[in-house]
Amino acid sequence: MAIVADSGAMYALYDRADSHHRAVKAAVAAERGPIVLPAAILAEIDYLLRVRLGQAAELALLQGIANGSLSVEPFRLEDAAACERLLKRYADLDLGLADAAVIATADRLGVRKILTVDERDLRAVRTSQGEPFVLLPADASGSGVLRRRRYGSPKT
């Protein structure tokens, strides 16, 4: 099963000093499926990595994409429409396009797991079928088997 990741979780994965690093890394290691990155959030991830960690982290992200550990999912017309609906429906959360794109991508792919460190906003959002998303690492059961994943992080 795949997991769709948001920018904050990806940053935490690459920054060993981030308070969420260990939990995010463990959640990623426990997953058997690909880590899906919505194309709509790549610039945000790149910005966070480059500005805060430097070019090595930016290049590591690209390496993770190139070696297949990270999968980039295109932003489709249907995602734009879903984002518009999400932004209107959850206006009180002030989600923003990046979070809406993560949710829309997960929903379109039928993926209920989202890798995020932003529980506050994403906890309130439901799938198009009205089900809550599983937010990792917060909802991790701890039953997954840890394995090394080559996502290109220079700081893990």
**Where in the chain are the domains?**
3-136
Distance CA 68, CA 150 (A): 9
- In DSSP notation, 40-103 reads GGHHHHHHHHHHHH-HHHHHHHHHHHHTTSEEEEP--HHHHHHHHHHHHHTGGGT-HHHHHHHH
**Which pLDDT tens digit goes with each residue over 33-56?**
899 999 999 999 999 999 999 999
* Statement: residue 1 has pLDDT above 50: yes
Per CATH, domain 3-136 is 3.50.30.30: no
What is the pLDDT at residue 69? 92
Cα 80–86–87 angle (5° rounding)? 90
* Statement: residue 32 has pLDDT above 50: yes
Q: What is the pTM of this model?
A: 0.89
